[in-house]
Amino acid sequence: MAGLAATALLWESVPGGRELIGWAWGAAGAGAVCAFLLRDSSGGRARRWLGLEAVRPDGRPPGAAGSIRRNLPLLIPLWNLFDAWPVLRDGEAARVSDRITGIRVRRAA
């Protein structure tokens, strides 16, 4: 949505700045990737709505570094299918990246 608003603003208000539209979309894309990678840093807002939380082995939220390590493999094409297979096979199984990082998704207390 931010990219669309920036495009409209550049197109209408700054006719000479129309060549910057690609940069605006690049910045919006980079922001979206950062938000995706950091989505679990405080336990995950969407998961809290469902009564779940992402935690480290010591019970604390994963933080920024843990969230990036957990979600970075999901940016690799087709990794989602490989990573989801244990979850689809057994609903309690952890994702591959969760086993590597030690992060678990559990019911919120």
Q: What is the C-alpha to C-alpha distance for residues 85 and 54, in angstroms, rounded to an integer?
A: 19
H runs (alpha helix) in 1-109: 2-13, 21-37, 45-49, 63-71, 79-89, 96-101
pLDDT tens-digit series, residues 60-96: 888 899 889 888 988 888 887 887 777 677 666 778 8
Contact indicator for 100, 72 with CB cutoff of 8 Å: no
Q: What is the pLDDT of residues 34-49, one digit of tens each?
A: 998 998 887 666 666 7
Report whether 66 contacts 40 (CB < 8 A).
yes
* More confident call, 109 vs 31: 31
Which run of H or E residues covers position 50?
none
- The residues pairing with 105 across neighbouring beta strands, listed in sequence order, are 54
Q: Where are the domains of the chain?
A: 1-37, 41-109
Q: Provide the pLDDT confidence category of residue 6 given band limits of 50, 70 and 90.
A: confident
Q: Hey, what are 89's tokens?
A: 């096979």
Nearest to 35 by CA among 81, 7, 75, 76: 75
